[in-house]
């Protein structure tokens, strides 16, 4: 699984505010961000989590007042705590199985000590599959030329 581990993991702390989390996710062009406390994985926040919390107030008379309060929500108040992880040593097929089984868009990659090492997303897996399919096509083309 280490082919998916990013060299620099973007994360937030439990007390990070929603407004800062959203800004970071937009700036870094990520759809998921792990939540850590003293380097221990505690949760994950997705762009869907943020949209869900912001949209609860849309169209109400209180939307402007509460929008400000919503943007001050902390990571620990909106994060998903039930984490689906995969060990760095597990094969890519296991990642595909977990994503399909749990109907999720990303997996957190951890080492044997449960330390966060990266994230693998649905898109990462599709890009990986595309590379494999290209290799297969090249091999087929070469075998046809022989």
Which positions ≥6 away from 50 have C-beta within 8 Å? 18, 21, 22, 25, 78
According to the model, what pLDDT value does residue 40 have? 94
What are the boundaries of each domain within the chain? 12-145
Q: Is the confidence at residue 3, as pLDDT, over 80? A: no
What is the CA 69 to chain-centroid distance, rounded?
25
Q: What is the pLDDT of residue 71?
A: 74
Query: What value does the mean pLDDT take over residues 120-136?
Result: 90
User: Cα separation of 142 and 95, whole Å?
Assistant: 31
Return the closest-CA partner of residue 4 out of 103, 98, 101: 98
What's the CA gap between 50 and 55, in Å, rounded? 9
* pLDDT tens column, 14-72: 999 999 999 999 999 999 999 999 999 999 999 999 988 876 655 555 556 666 667 78
Retrieve residue 96's tokens: 């595909």
* Superfamily in which the 12-145 domain is placed by CATH: CBS-domain (3.10.580.10)
The full DSSP string for the chain is -TTT--SS---EETT-BHHHHHHHHHHHT-SEEEEEETTEEEEEEEHHHHHHHHHTTTTSTTHHHHHHHHHT-BHHHH-B-S--EEETTS-HHHHHHHHHHHT-SEEEEE-TT--EEEEEEHHHHHHHHHHHHHHHHHHHHHHHH-
Residue in the structure block whose two tokens are 């290799």: 135
pLDDT digits (tens, 9 = 90+) for 50-65: 988 876 655 555 556 6
pLDDT of residue 60: 59
């Amino acid at each position: 699984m280490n082919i998916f581990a990013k060299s620099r993991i973007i994360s937030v702390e439990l007390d990070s505010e929603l407004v800062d989390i959203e800004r970071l996710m937009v700036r870094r062009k990520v759809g998921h961000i792990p939540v850590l406390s003293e380097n221990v994985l505690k949760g994950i926040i997705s762009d869907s989590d943020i949209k869900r919390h912001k949209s609860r107030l849309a169209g109400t008379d209180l939307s402007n007042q509460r929008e400000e309060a919503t943007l001050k929500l902390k990571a620990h108040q909106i994060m998903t705590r039930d984490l689906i992880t995969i060990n760095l040593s597990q094969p890519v097929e296991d990642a595909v199985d977990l994503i399909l089984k749990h109907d999720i868009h990303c997996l957190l990659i951890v080492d044997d000590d449960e330390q966060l090492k990266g994230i693998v997303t649905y898109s990462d897996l599709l890009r990986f599959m595309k590379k494999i399919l290209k290799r297969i096509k090249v091999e087929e083309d070469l075998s046809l030329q022989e």
